[in-house]
């Protein structure tokens, strides 16, 4: 379980100081599919960065099970991310000088995962494993990014607007891959998006507004990527 307790985060200093997170407290259960919704500037990406250990909060704590990651040193935090966390970003951030296979190996080698080719096949890219990112479409690149994140067998997968740069059909495809793998492998998902329809796929929906949680709701029945509107 991830327990977030009263976290605050500001950027800038003096008159230019902006408080982005204003005391957020919440819990995420193991295996949950949490969608964080909010308008641009609501603090949802910062929230994701803080709970995933990419950034440190100004105050408050983030605890995974019994381990408070906000107290870890940089090297301990790196080790923690290595053992537990996977990331998928809107801009993919693939390594341009590495093939699809090697991009996926970036995640797989960390977990000693020798079956990474199965994941490449699972995301439908087995025939493109020797291509470079620049030779792929946006949707294919995002699927590589999904495969890379899943190849390291994360316990928690963080997604920051994973369909933000994709068209509807490709976006649905990518979400479908993620959901199927989520059901099969049972990891926890925390996804940030501004697309309200995607929230219908989640077990828990967290709405953020001006650095605070304005609403938390749970879905009785989760829809698939092909059932939601876009």
Partner 1 sequence: MVVGMKDALKLIGISVIACCAVFVCTLFLNYNIDITAMKNEITMAGGIVMYNAIVSTGKVVSAVSGGCLAVTSVIMLLFYVKNYIDTHGKELGILKALGYSNFKISKHFWIFGLSVFIGCALGYAAAFLYLPSFYELQNAEHLFPEIKVQFHLYLAFLLVVVPTVSFAVLAVIYACFRLKKPVLDLLKEKHNYKATSSKKETKDMPFLKELTRSTVRGRKSLVFFIAFSAFCFSAMVQMSMSMNELASETMAVMVMTIGLILAFMTLFLSLSSVVKTNAKTIAMMKIFGYSERECNGAVLGGYRPVSYIGFAVGTAYQYFLLRIMVDIVFADVENIPEFKFDFTAFAVSLVLFIIIYELFMYIYSQRIKKLSIKSVMLE
Place of tokens 């935090």: 77
Q: Is 149 in contact with 88 (CB distance < 8 Å)?
A: yes
CB 52 within 8 A of CB 88: no
Burial class (CB in 10 A: 0-12, 13-18, 19+), 43: buried
Tell me which of 64, 87, 177, 187 binds partner 1, using CB under 8 A: 87
- Give Cα 54 to chain centroid, integer Å: 12
For 210, other C-beta atoms within 10 Å of its C-beta total 13
Q: Pick the binder of partner 1 from 43, 107, 139, 171 (CB under 8 A).
A: 107
Binding segment for partner 1 among 82-90, 118-126, 199-207, 215-223 (CB under 8 A)?
82-90
- 8, 109, 124, 194: which one contacts partner 1 (CB under 8 A)? 109
Question: Minimum distance from CB of 8 to partner 1 (Å)?
Answer: 17
Closest CA to 215 of 60, 37, 41: 37
Binding track over 112-151 against partner 1, x by CB under 8 A = ------------------xxxxxx----------------
| Interaction residues for partner 1, span 163-202 (CB under 8 A) | none
What minimum distance in Å lies between the beta carbon of 137 and partner 1? 12
Least Å distance, CB 134 to partner 1, is 5
Restricted to residues 42-81, the positions that interact with partner 1 (CB under 8 A) are 49, 54-55, 75, 78-81
Q: For residues 190 and 158, is the Cβ–Cβ distance under 8 A?
A: yes
Structural tokens at position 166: 């994709």
Query: What's the token pair of residue 15?
Result: 């008159």
Minimum Å distance from CB 148 to partner 1?
Answer: 8
Least distance from partner 1 to the Cβ atom of residue 150, Å: 12
Cβ 223 to partner 1, closest distance in Å? Answer: 30
**Closest to partner 1 by CB, 17 or 221:** 17
Q: How far is the CB of 46 from partner 1 (least distance, A)?
A: 9
Count the residues of the shown chain that bind partner 1, applying the rule CB under 8 A: 35
Rounded to an integer, what distance in angstroms lies between the CA atom of residue 220 and that of residue 152?
30
Task: Check residue 106 for interaction with partner 1 (CB under 8 A).
Answer: yes
User: Do the Cβ atoms of 185 and 151 come closer than 8 Å?
Assistant: no
Nearest to 86 by CA among 190, 211, 166: 190
How far, rounded to the nearest angstrom, does the alpha carbon of residue 155 sit from its chain's CA centroid? 11
Binding site for partner 1 (CB under 8 A): 49, 54-55, 75, 78-83, 85, 87, 89, 91, 93, 95-99, 101-102, 105-110, 130-135, 152
């Amino acid at each position: 379980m991830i327990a977030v307790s009263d976290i605050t985060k500001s950027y800038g200093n003096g008159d230019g100081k902006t408080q982005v997170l204003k005391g957020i407290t919440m819990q995420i259960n193991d295996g949950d599919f949490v969608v964080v919704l909010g308008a641009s500037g609501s603090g949802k990406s910062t929230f994701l960065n803080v709970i995933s250990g990419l950034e440190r909060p100004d105050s408050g704590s983030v605890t995974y099970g019994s381990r408070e990651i906000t107290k870890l040193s940089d090297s301990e935090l790196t080790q923690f991310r290595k053992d537990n966390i996977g990331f998928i970003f809107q801009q993919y951030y693939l390594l341009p000088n590495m093939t699809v296979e090697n991009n996926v190996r970036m995640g797989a080698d960390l977990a000693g995962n020798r079956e990474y080719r199965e994941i490449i096949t699972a995301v439908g890219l087995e025939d493109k494993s020797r291509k470079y990112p620049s030779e792929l479409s946006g949707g294919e690149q995002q699927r590589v990014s999904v495969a890379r994140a899943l190849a390291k067998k994360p316990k928690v997968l963080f997604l920051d607007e994973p369909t933000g740069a994709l068209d509807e059909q490709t976006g649905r495809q990518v979400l479908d891959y993620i959901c199927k793998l989520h059901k099969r492998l049972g990891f926890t998902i925390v996804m940030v998006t501004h697309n309200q329809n995607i929230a219908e796929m989640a077990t828990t929906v967290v709405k953020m507004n001006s650095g605070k949680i304005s609403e938390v709701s749970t879905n009785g029945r989760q829809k698939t990527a092909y059932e939601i509107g876009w």
